[in-house]
Structure 1
Amino acid sequence: MLHSDSCKLPLLPLFWCNNKKPHLFDFICRACTTLEPATSYYVCVTCGDQFHKECIGSPLEFKHPSYPSLSLQLYSPPSDRVFCSCCQKRIDGLNYYSPTNNFTLHLFCAFKPIPFVIDHPKRHPHPLTIFPKQSFLPCHVCSLIKGHIPTYVCVRCVFVVHQDCIYFPYVIKISRHHHRISYTSSLPSGKWSCGVCRQMVDNDYGAYSCNKCDDYFVHSRCALRRDLWDGIELEGVPEEPEIVVEPFITISDGIILHFSHGHHLKLKISRVYDEKMVCQACILPIYEGGYYSCMDECDFILHETCANAPCKKHHALHPHPLTLTVVTSEYEDNIGRFCCKACQRESCGFVYEDLRGKIGNYRRNKFQLDLRCASVSEPFEYLGHKHLLYLALNPEEEKLAICQICHEREDESSHCRKLNCIECDFVICFRCATLPYKARYQHDKHFLKFYETKEANDHSEWCDACEGRIADLRTRGIYSCNADLRTKGFYSCDDCCTTLHIDCLLGEDMYMKPGHTIMYNMTGFDEHYEKKLRILRNNTLSRPCCSTCGQRCRQKIVFKYKEHHIFCAISCQKHVINYS
């Protein structure tokens, strides 16, 4: 038996082992990646990889009795985003794959015998018999046609169901609704739209409904999406009230003690714009309205709305509860920053994160949202569009959707999540949707409003900061010296005609906090090292030159490495391998 998967040599022999006692803890099959202990197995003495006898004997190609039209080939997936078409679970090792229709099976699912009859009274009162050929009949549970999935029928009731749909859960909790939802095989008469995809729900098929809300229904296929459901069946589990933890203690009228700061904070009203007054939670300036300021004369400031952000919340983008955490320079083993899963911006502000499985600085589930993205809920009112917006796109549609503001797909904008309009074709990514609709500029006493690039003809042609064209998408100067052209649009004052690119007004790294220290783990020249960067205000009389691009730093902040190296943006420091 020969092996060449993980070893660097072309082919290596595998040796047969037959132990009297099974390996209970240290046996992992390299082929199927399961932890099932074995007494008989094959091992590679060079790299230590172990294999089940059954997995080694898997044929390179075979035809499954339930899928006779498919030629299944033994295949090693290039990534961990492959899921079994039978059990719907992720595949980490070898699998059987049909390239003609993207059909994939676990090794153990491929050889698992399929029962001829299934008796499941909870799903259907009569025994269900397997359909002998590929079925192109819609399933009464999920309403989909899956010709490659084993299908069972009840001839007496003309009931059709996929094998995996038979075991669908009955009571679940999804991220898009604040109540539990239950499976029902019969919907009330009327026209209902799905609470997830916003498409019509067919009354002839099963769906999930809310017992507390008369008009909330969800397609079965939508309710069980991995990004919406936590995988827990709640039937028979008592519903306990959620404990609410307040973010602050009220000391007296207008004075609070916030969990994120050790001093008392006093409520004030913003009357004069000062770009140095930055909220510690969202890292945006205090433009107007109420804010809390530290009474001990340190520079800790919070928007009134940010101070009221709950300590725990459920968000539509994640099936598990999120906890509000303060990001300090020691956060995540001194990394001091995080990347928001919705907008993909790096930030030093407060973060909502999934703390499940976190041990020290190690976490198994890394889902993080900044405060602005965490505040987005359905329906979302975007001031630049006349209709309400929803998270109605499924994962495949979201990959292909193009944001109407920045005009980029998911693969180009680092997986930004998107909102869409169900009445027209408008789509906007979280990066653009969470930009401030109006902002202040230090050289203008009025507010500047956000406009799309297509509205540039009604405003000044040039940016007042970088002196580049506003609407010329062919030149790099549209934003700033370091902008990567991901976000298009501009801010303009209707009274003074002041016009600025987004990055020229807010900064390319708008959620980076002055006075903060962040760290990047770098690898170069066969060595691993840490690069600590101090975030400083760019307020010197002479603007420094960037150590990477060589241009004058135009942003409000700069990143300093050691004593003599300055970067004008995070994107510039990422291109640097090492500095002595």
Structure 2
Amino acid sequence: MEKVELPVHNHPLVSFTRFSLGQCKGCWSRGYIYGGYRCNEPGCDTMFHKTCAESLPEIKHYSHPDHTLKLVRKFQSSMCSLCRVWFETGYFCSICDFKLDLGCDRRPDPPLTLEKSNTHEHPLVLSNGVGFELSQSERNCKVCFEEVLEFETCYECHECELFFHVKFTEGSHTSHPEHPLKFLTGKEAPDYADKNCLLCGMEFIRELHHCDVCNFSICKECMRNPPPLDVVSQTTHKHQLHLLPRRIAFVCNACGTQGNQSPYFCFQCNFMIHRDCIDLPRVININRHDHRISYTCRLGHGNWTCGVCREKVDGFFGAYSCSKCSSYVVHSRCATRKDVWDTIELEGTAEEEEIAPFEVVDDSTIKHFSHDHYLRLNKDGVILHENKLCEACVSQICAESFYSCEQCDFILHERCANLSRKKRHVCHNQPFMLHTSPGAQKSCCALCDQKFNGFMYKSANHKVLDVRCGSISEPFEHKSHPHPLYYSGETFKYCSAHGGGLNRGMFTCDDCDYSLDFKCALLPKMVMNHRYDDHPLFLSYGESNVDGEYWCEACETKVNPKKWFYTCDECGVVLHISCVVGDFSYIMPAREGSITWSNKQVVPNTSICRILCSTCKSRCNLSSVLKVSKAGVDSYFCSSSCDTSYLLI
């Protein structure tokens, strides 16, 4: 894809021929852009109309004939002298205080005289300004009732001494050439008129252009930027496509979904397509799959299921498929959703090589990118002490295989040592990069809302995930539920484990009303807590048929047996989840001589005598507590809420 340097943007731009719904960063008009330029840099979704992007460095304009206007990008605090809309990139006069945005620059020179107009019954004459001697009410536009500026080009009726903004006298349109269109405000629109633009489908807010002969209504953006009548797009169809501007039910050949208005049509083969399906990107990455996927006009016969929405994919319409995974396909519209696709087109670019997280020294030794020493693998199934925590996920090692350093106390789960350096995640359309521990600095995971200081995944726009949340993929299998779970970030849902509601992002079931938030879904399945039991404690998901009462070994209060809890399979010991996993459970306790953030540090609470919380005055049951040093006095807190209470005193 060829990139060009243009003065309207700080990144190289690539041309495109599809309809893209968005806002042109040149003229700031919002709607469909066809045949323009866009930025293909990660995280930058800037788009321009073709004429806006190719704006000349200097122009002469009919509205300011005496001086040359120069193009300036991001000219601060600028209001267009014609339309009085604020803009960043546009033209200005170095001699006088005249400014022109790119939208007004693209307007064709208006005729000197309008003999017939739907705006007014008398001929209208183009005027270079309204006399300053007139009062503001006398020089108001008689369509929008807003002021016509002193030197603003406008139309004037000499018989009635009335003034009109130029934009309200426009009547003809390429999609409806048989009758002129009349400008109406929302209140003036007849009851029978459509509530949405016939061309782009956008709902009318305040203004529309209407033909009362044909009941044809379009928005001001489509009036200003009419869609092309003919389009050629080799990606989606081999023949020329023609606009059919009318209400008509059809099935789009590119995406397989229903449409009801203004398709593009091929006369040679009865091919119909939505305007925003024209020229779909050929090669893209999505956050639901590890490989690139490519657009194909037809999959062919087969039993296909979409990798994003899990609904059936009709193989006789366009879709995306993976060349490496023969069974993986995605609906065209699902693949190009803004929460799924990063908007980067990859056609013609080499595929990135995967960066290995470590170098192999021998069969049991590696050199991991996060550590200066060699790490040796242990697969003996030995259960380490509860204080031994993985540097990446800040969780107990338990009986898992792990890598350890023989020169220091650095230790990693084998699965954490194999974490991908670059990963795509279902919660975000931008890729994440793996970063090592930020030392004493703590972060907060955007999905589980847990504070941590282990390894992290971070996106280009600084979205942070801990490696527990960052390493999940779909479908997510959880022992608490018989069906696979999938990520959902659209609606407010209640967690089936603890009953609370979240809209941060959850795992949901397609088959039944079951949801888990990330905090509950990623609770450790097994923990060690030698204070209460010498055996491993396992996560239990509740018991439906229970006789008798359960009591927590830590806080000595009742445990609801129908809710989740930790228990020992050998001794029957029961503990609340909150008495095992707390606010500081994923923060590595400070080591001797380590640097802490501010005056706070997380310290172990594994001595025989439990630490007394300075706020709630209870003995903390958790394995880690927060130590706060202030004026030479150390205080301890068992939770974030207790710490906040202390700071407010």
User: Does structure 1 residue 446 correspond to structure 2 residue 535?
Assistant: yes
For structure 2, list consecutive stretches of 5 or more residues without a partner in the other structure: 1-62, 106-145, 147-164, 169-183, 207-217
1:326 is matched with which residue: 412, 424, 436?
Answer: 436
Q: Give 3-state SS (helix, strand or coil) of 2:194's partner.
A: strand
CA contact (8 A) 1:40 1:53 kept: no
Quick one: structure 1 residues 201 and 243, their matched pair in 2 at CA, closer, same or farther if it must change by over 3 Å? closer
User: Does structure 1 residue 560 correspond to structure 2 residue 627?
Assistant: yes
Shift of 1:242: 0.7
Aligned to 2:91: 38
Aligned to 2:552: 463
CA contact (8 A) 1:270 1:291 kept: no
User: Does structure 1 residue 288 correspond to structure 2 residue 355?
Assistant: no
CA contact (8 A) 1:256 1:264 kept: yes
The whole-number CA distance in structure 1 between the counterparts of 2:295 and 2:266 is: 20
Aligned to 1:503: 578
The whole-number CA distance in structure 2 between the counterparts of 1:206 and 1:32 is: 41
1:570 is matched with which residue: 630, 637, 640?
Answer: 640
Aligned to 1:533: 600
Aligned to 1:362: none
Q: Give 3-state SS (helix, strand or coil) of 2:558's partner.
A: coil
Partner amino acid, structure 1, of 2:263: T
User: Does structure 1 residue 434 correspond to structure 2 residue 518?
Assistant: no
2:611 is matched with which residue: 543, 560, 566?
Answer: 543
Shift of 1:196: 1.5
CA contact (8 A) 1:416 1:431 kept: no
Aligned to 2:353: 242
The whole-number CA distance in structure 2 between the counterparts of 1:107 and 1:279 is: 59
Aligned to 1:79: none
Aligned to 1:371: 467
CA contact (8 A) 1:465 1:504 kept: yes
Partner amino acid, structure 2, of 1:70: K
Quick one: structure 1 residues 280 and 96, their matched pair in 2 at CA, closer, same or farther if it must change by over 3 Å? farther
Alignment of 1:355-504 (within 5 A): 356=460, 365-391=461-487, 393=488, 395-396=489-490, 399-411=491-503, 415-420=504-509, 422=510, 424-442=512-530, 443-453=532-542, 455=544, 457=546, 461-471=550-560, 489-504=564-579
Number of corresponding residues: 482
User: Does structure 1 residue 163 correspond to structure 2 residue 275?
Assistant: yes
Alignment of 1:190-269 (within 5 A): 190-235=302-347, 237-240=348-351, 242-250=353-361, 254-268=364-378, 269=380
Aligned to 1:133: 246
The whole-number CA distance in structure 2 between the counterparts of 1:124 and 1:151 is: 14
Aligned to 1:69: 194
User: Does structure 1 residue 338 correspond to structure 2 residue 443?
Assistant: yes
CA contact (8 A) 1:270 1:286 kept: no
The whole-number CA distance in structure 1 between the counterparts of 2:647 and 2:240 is: 65
Q: Is the deviation greater in 265-274 or in 561-570?
A: 265-274
CA contact (8 A) 2:357 2:368 kept: no
Partner amino acid, structure 1, of 2:571: C
Shift of 1:136: 4.2
Partner amino acid, structure 2, of 1:225: R
CA contact (8 A) 2:377 2:401 kept: yes
The whole-number CA distance in structure 1 between the counterparts of 2:86 and 2:451 is: 34
Aligned to 2:457: 352
Aligned to 2:291: 179
Aligned to 1:527: none
- Any idea what the Cα deviations from partners look like across 1:262-295, whole Å, max 9, x if unmatched? 3344444464542211111111112113333332
CA contact (8 A) 1:313 1:321 kept: yes
The whole-number CA distance in structure 1 between the counterparts of 2:86 and 2:637 is: 44
Quick one: structure 1 residues 23 and 244, their matched pair in 2 at CA, closer, same or farther if it must change by over 3 Å? closer
The whole-number CA distance in structure 2 between the counterparts of 1:456 and 1:32 is: 68
Shift of 1:109: 6.6
- Any idea what the Cα deviations from partners look like across 1:454-475, whole Å, max 9, x if unmatched? 54837852211112222299xx
Partner amino acid, structure 2, of 1:263: H
The whole-number CA distance in structure 1 between the counterparts of 2:647 and 2:85 is: 38
CA contact (8 A) 2:235 2:279 kept: no
Quick one: structure 1 residues 437 and 193, their matched pair in 2 at CA, closer, same or farther if it must change by over 3 Å? same
Shift of 1:505: 1.3
- Any idea what the Cα deviations from partners look like across 1:275-318, whole Å, max 9, x if unmatched? 2111111111121133333323x432222322232333444444
User: Does structure 1 residue 303 correspond to structure 2 residue 413?
Assistant: yes
Aligned to 2:139: none
Q: Give 3-state SS (helix, strand or coil) of 2:320's partner.
A: strand
Q: Give 3-state SS (helix, strand or coil) of 1:169's partner.
A: coil
Q: Give 3-state SS (helix, strand or coil) of 1:372's partner.
A: helix
Quick one: structure 1 residues 260 and 39, their matched pair in 2 at CA, closer, same or farther if it must change by over 3 Å? same
The whole-number CA distance in structure 1 between the counterparts of 2:85 and 2:470 is: 38
Aligned to 2:210: none
Q: Which has the larger radius of gyration?
A: 2
The whole-number CA distance in structure 1 between the counterparts of 2:539 and 2:429 is: 33
The whole-number CA distance in structure 2 between the counterparts of 1:106 and 1:536 is: 63
Shift of 1:533: 2.4
Shift of 1:504: 0.8
Shift of 1:193: 0.9
The whole-number CA distance in structure 1 between the counterparts of 2:396 and 2:85 is: 53
Quick one: structure 1 residues 122 and 309, their matched pair in 2 at CA, closer, same or farther if it must change by over 3 Å? closer
- Any idea what the Cα deviations from partners look like across 1:210-235, whole Å, max 9, x if unmatched? 23433222111111122321212223
- Any idea what the Cα deviations from partners look like across 1:8-66, whole Å, max 9, x if unmatched? xxxxxxxx99995443343366998864223279xx9xxxxx9889699899955999x
Alignment of 1:72-83 (within 5 A): none
CA contact (8 A) 1:181 1:211 kept: yes
Quick one: structure 1 residues 32 and 290, their matched pair in 2 at CA, closer, same or farther if it must change by over 3 Å? farther
Quick one: structure 1 residues 71 and 204, their matched pair in 2 at CA, closer, same or farther if it must change by over 3 Å? closer
Q: Give 3-state SS (helix, strand or coil) of 1:560's partner.
A: strand
The whole-number CA distance in structure 2 between the counterparts of 1:552 and 1:264 is: 40
CA contact (8 A) 1:266 1:293 kept: yes
Shift of 1:194: 0.8
Quick one: structure 1 residues 427 and 518, their matched pair in 2 at CA, closer, same or farther if it must change by over 3 Å? farther
Quick one: structure 1 residues 377 and 467, their matched pair in 2 at CA, closer, same or farther if it must change by over 3 Å? same
CA contact (8 A) 1:543 1:553 kept: yes
TM-score, length of structure 2 as denominator length: 0.64
TM-score, length of structure 1 as denominator length: 0.70
Shift of 1:350: 0.7
Quick one: structure 1 residues 190 and 64, their matched pair in 2 at CA, closer, same or farther if it must change by over 3 Å? farther
Partner amino acid, structure 2, of 1:157: C
The whole-number CA distance in structure 1 between the counterparts of 2:314 and 2:75 is: 50
Partner amino acid, structure 1, of 2:637: F
Identical columns (%): 34
CA contact (8 A) 2:307 2:328 kept: yes
Shift of 1:403: 3.4
Aligned to 1:485: none
1:26 is matched with which residue: 55, 75, 86?
Answer: 75
Shift of 1:180: 2.4
- Any idea what the Cα deviations from partners look like across 1:116-173, whole Å, max 9, x if unmatched? 33343543344333333344433222333455x7532335533332211113212222
Quick one: structure 1 residues 246 and 512, their matched pair in 2 at CA, closer, same or farther if it must change by over 3 Å? closer
RMSD after superposition:
4.3
The whole-number CA distance in structure 2 between the counterparts of 1:180 and 1:272 is: 41
The whole-number CA distance in structure 2 between the counterparts of 1:157 and 1:209 is: 25
